[in-house]
Chain A
Amino acid sequence: MSTVTTTADGTRTDDRSRAAVRHVLARIGRYVFLCLVLAFFALPLLWLATAPFDDTPTIGTSLPDFTLDNFRALLDNPYALTSLVNSVWLAGGTALLVVTFAALAAYALSRVRVPGRDALLYGLLLLSSIVTGTATMVPLFELAVRANLIDSRLGVILILSGGLLPAAIFILKDFMDATPTSYEESARVFGASPLQIMRHIVVPIVRPGLATVGVWAVANVWGNFLVPFLLLGPDKRPAAVIMYTLYTEGGQADLRLLSTFSLLYSLPVALMFVFVSSRYGFRFHGGIKR
Chain B
Amino acid sequence: MGASPAPDAAGLGRARAAGFLVPSMVLILLFLVVPAAWTIYLGVTNYRLTGLAAANPEIVGLDNYTRALTDERFRTSLLLTLQFVLGSAVIGQAGLGFAIAFALRDRRGPLRRVVEAFILLSWILPSSVVAFLWIALLDRDAGTLNALLGTPGMAWLLDHPMLSIIIFNTWRGTAFSMMLYAAALENVPRSHLETARLAGASTWQQLRDVVFPRIRGHVLTNLLLISLWTFNDFTPFLITAGGPEQRSEVLAVYVYKVALSGGELGFGAAISFIMLLINLVIALVYLRTLGRRKEAP
Residues of A within 8 A of B (CB): 19, 26, 30, 33-34, 37-38, 40-48, 58-61, 97, 100-102, 104-105, 107-114, 118, 121-122, 124, 126-143, 158-159, 161-163, 165-166, 169, 173-174, 177, 179-181, 184-185, 187-188, 194, 197-198, 201-202, 219, 222-223, 225-226, 230, 239-241, 243-244, 247-248, 258, 262, 265-266, 269-270, 273, 282-284, 287-290
Contacts and interface: CB of A to CB of B under 8 A. Distances in A.
A138 B39 contact: yes
Contacts of B123: 289
Could you say which interface size class chain B belongs to? 35 or more
A141 B259 CA distance: 10
Contacts of A135: 39, 232, 255, 272, 275-276, 279
A209 to B, nearest CB: 15
A112 B11 CA distance: 9
Contact of A131 (B21, B35, B176): B35
Interface in B66-124: 96, 99-100, 103-104, 111, 114-115, 118-124
Nearest to B43: A138
Contact of B120 (A118, A197, A282): A282
B280 to A, nearest CB: 5
Interface in B12-36: 12-14, 16-18, 20-21, 23-25, 27-28, 30-36
Contacts of A247: 132, 135
Judged by DSSP, the binding face of B is helix
Contacts of A188: 9-11
Contacts of A181: 5-6, 9
Nearest to B14: A112
Contacts of B114: 38
Interface of B: 1-14, 16-18, 20-21, 23-25, 27-28, 30-36, 38-39, 42, 96, 99-100, 103-104, 111, 114-115, 118-137, 139, 141-145, 147, 171, 174, 176, 179-180, 182-183, 200, 203, 228-229, 232-235, 238, 241, 251-252, 255-256, 259-260, 265, 268-269, 272, 275-276, 279-280, 283-284, 287
Given A44-B133, A44-B134, A284-B179, A243 B128 contact: yes
A132 B28 contact: no
Contacts of B275: 134-135
Judged by DSSP, the binding face of A is helix
B39 A273 contact: no
Contacts of B99: 33
Nearest to A23: B197
A139 B144 contact: no
Contact of B24 (A101, A114, A133, A141): A101
A122 B35 CA distance: 19
Contacts of B241: 248
A190 B136 CA distance: 65
